[in-house]
């Protein structure tokens, strides 16, 4: 029911990325070319392990941060979407946190993207990203710590919707969700079976609809459910 195919964003879907490209030096075409030449690409279901810790910006595709327990249990910390900045390397090899691609992924060195930008600004952007990331981790803790199964699913879907919306990846309230129900289960601390039943129920209640691998959040009635949480703004 949830799509498992890969995101293949069109040019239109990367506005936030290019906004961060400075516009003051060299021809735009030159810089664009330079940029695309240095983009790193990953296949779906591959692990991103960078020996040298770097800050990378996600140009396209989905990644998730995951930890595998010795007995096979798995916990997903967060989903990383186009426009996000992610720190590769460092952690990765300790078996503490892995970066797992869910689709084809394109990464660009964040430093490169900030070339020509006021260093102070770049610094501020990084700091901002860090703060948002922390905020998301806290949300995740509340989600799995204090919300019911249904609330968890809705809450996460709303978060993903809003984040994708911010980078223009939502069309008519629908977005591509390259996440299997098993992944969802591991993100929300639930079992696949229960995720499935919860989704079915939500579909029957008209809260969400599925279509050709896309998911759509209907009404912000969903948000009522989520009043339990702190989701404040956002519209559909």
Partner DNA sequence: CGAGACTTTGACCGTAGTCAATTTATGTGG
Partner DNA sequence: CCACATAAATTGACTACGGTCAAAGTCTCG
Contacts to DNA by CB under 7 A: 1-5, 148-150, 180-182, 189-194, 196-197, 199-200, 213
**d(Cα 159, Cα 171) in Å, to the nearest integer?**
16
Choose the one of a second copy, DNA, none that binds residue 199, judging by a C-beta under 5 to 8 angstroms depending on kind. DNA
Residue 202 φ then ψ, to 5°: -65, -35
192, 200 contact by CB (below 8 A):
no
- Smallest separation, CB 152 to a second copy (Å): 10
Choose the one of DNA, a second copy, none that binds residue 69, judging by a C-beta under 5 to 8 angstroms depending on kind. a second copy
Task: Of 209, 202, 129, 141, give the one whose Cα is nearest residue 177.
Answer: 209
**d(Cα 28, Cα 22) in Å, to the nearest integer?**
9
- Smallest separation, CB 31 to a second copy (Å): 31
Q: What angle do CA 115, 121, 127 make, to 5 degrees?
A: 110
Choose the one of a second copy, DNA, none that binds residue 38, judging by a C-beta under 5 to 8 angstroms depending on kind. none
- Smallest separation, CB 111 to a second copy (Å): 17
69 is a site residue for a second copy (CB under 8 A): yes
**d(Cα 218, Cα 130) in Å, to the nearest integer?**
31
Q: Which residues bind a second copy (CB under 8 A)?
A: 67, 69-71, 73-75, 77, 95-97, 130, 134-135, 137-138, 140-142, 144-146, 188-189, 227-230
């Amino acid at each position: 029911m949830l799509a498992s195919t890969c995101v293949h964003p069109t040019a239109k879907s990367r506005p936030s990325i290019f906004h961060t490209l400075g516009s003051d030096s060299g021809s735009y075409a030159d810089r664009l070319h330079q940029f695309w030449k240095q983009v790193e690409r990953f296949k779906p279901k591959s692990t991103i392990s960078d020996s040298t810790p770097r800050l990378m910006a996600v140009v396209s595709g989905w990644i998730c941060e995951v930890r595998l327990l010795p007995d096979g249990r798995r916990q997903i910390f967060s989903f990383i979407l186009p426009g996000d900045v992610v720190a590769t390397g460092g952690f990765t090899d300790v078996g503490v946190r892995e970066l797992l691609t869910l689709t084809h992924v394109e990464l660009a060195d964040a430093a490169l993207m900030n070339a020509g930008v006021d260093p102070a600004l770049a610094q501020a952007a990084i700091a901002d990203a860090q703060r948002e990331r922390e905020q998301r981790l806290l949300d995740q803790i509340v989600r799995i710590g204090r919300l019911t199964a249904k609330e968890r699913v809705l809450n996460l879907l709303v978060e993903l919707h809003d984040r994708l919306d911010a980078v223009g990846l939502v069309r008519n309230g629908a977005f591509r969700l390259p996440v299997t129900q098993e992944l969802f289960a591991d993100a929300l601390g639930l079992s696949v079976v229960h995720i499935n039943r919860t989704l079915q129920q939500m579909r029957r209640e008209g809260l969400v609809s599925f279509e050709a691998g896309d998911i759509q959040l209907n009404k912000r009635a969903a948000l009522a459910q989520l009043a339990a949480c702190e989701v404040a703004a956002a519209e559909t």
